[in-house]
Structure 1
């Protein structure tokens, strides 16, 4: 069994998510609606938590959508959204995942938006490991973590407990 080291406690994760929600609001306060696109599965869970916080503080409408792709074989899998792409036209999209490692998942996820004229696309992650190999940067990061490429960061966003471990 692999040993886990706790990086962020439940309270710390919730605090990071709340801060990210305020940053998203501050950078998009003039919008009428923003779209939170969560990459299934943990990115979608993070997007739901951000939506809850944004709906409390923001004056704009917040729409949550899911994005499906095979993170281990993105070139061989379909990349799909669980909404009609026409609803994304001229909207601000925040693409959300739990951890940014190389930027690969985010880069392939952009394919779902390439045939739609969106206003802008921003990215949000709970943990940014900064091992980027793709030209993707994180606009909103809850936590910047210096790790080796062989380390594994595990995010748990369960109903009762939200924590981050290093394995």
Structure 2
């Protein structure tokens, strides 16, 4: 995380991010209202933090039981190390899974994560992202988007989800 003075421009503040999480949770409930359970698989680190926040909101607004999975993947070299899910032994067979990441850029991270999830035969896989940058290189689209932002390839979106700061910046 870089100091706030290093950021070019704030695109979402804490209040806006909390509103987006609430809206996304309601959308998830609407799309999955017949389900007893929903699995949120968050990409470590910020995707998992976002999944935790979505799970808390979903459980406060609906009767759906939410199970969290943490997905660890090497985002720069996804074939170098195996994609891992924790806790181990959680079954997603015949369950609705929402893959959660903070920023959707090319879709590469989510595509490689699908390789880990699909052999377990989930009923449905959806994607939730706080910021969608719209630079798809892989056939992955967000089902639930907090904020849609057109950026250049040189720009970066940095999402900060810590106890001391919740914000998104265009860097």
TM-score, normalising length from structure 2?
Answer: 0.94
Equivalent in the alignment of 2:36: 32
Q: Secondary structure at the match of 2:106?
A: coil
Q: Give the whole-Å Cα distance in 2 for the aligned partners of 1:63 and 1:83.
A: 10
User: Residues 67-117 of structure 1, C-alpha deviation per residue, up to 9 Å, x if partnerless?
Assistant: 011001101111010034552111000000000000011101111112211
Q: Say if 2:31 is the partner of 1:17.
A: no
Q: Which runs of 5+ in 1 are unaligned?
A: none
Q: Say if 2:133 is the partner of 1:118.
A: no
Contact 1:86 1:116 in 2 (8 A): no
Q: Say if 2:59 is the partner of 1:58.
A: no
Equivalent in the alignment of 1:148: 152
Give the number of equivalent residue pairs.
167
Equivalent in the alignment of 1:41: 45
Q: Give the whole-Å Cα distance in 1 for the aligned partners of 2:60 and 2:145.
A: 20
Report the Cα offset of residue 160 of structure 1: 3.7
Equivalent of 1:74 in 67, 73, 78: 78
Contact 1:85 1:116 in 2 (8 A): no
User: Residues 15-48 of structure 1, C-alpha deviation per residue, up to 9 Å, x if partnerless?
Assistant: 0011000000000000010000000001000000
Q: Secondary structure at the match of 2:110?
A: helix
Q: Which moved more, 1:95-104 or 1:114-123?
A: 114-123
TM-score, normalising length from structure 1?
Answer: 0.96
Equivalent in the alignment of 2:142: 138
Q: Give the whole-Å Cα distance in 2 for the aligned partners of 1:83 and 1:75.
A: 21
Q: Which moved more, 1:106-115 or 1:144-153?
A: 106-115
User: CA-atom RMSD, angstroms?
Assistant: 1.2
Q: Give the whole-Å Cα distance in 2 for the aligned partners of 1:84 and 1:41.
A: 17
Contact 2:72 2:84 in 1 (8 A): yes
User: Residues 133-162 of structure 1, C-alpha deviation per residue, up to 9 Å, x if partnerless?
Assistant: 100111000000011011010000112421
Q: Give the whole-Å Cα distance in 2 for the aligned partners of 1:166 and 1:86.
A: 36
Q: Give the whole-Å Cα distance in 2 for the aligned partners of 1:2 and 1:148.
A: 19
Q: Which moved more, 1:136-145 or 1:86-95?
A: 86-95
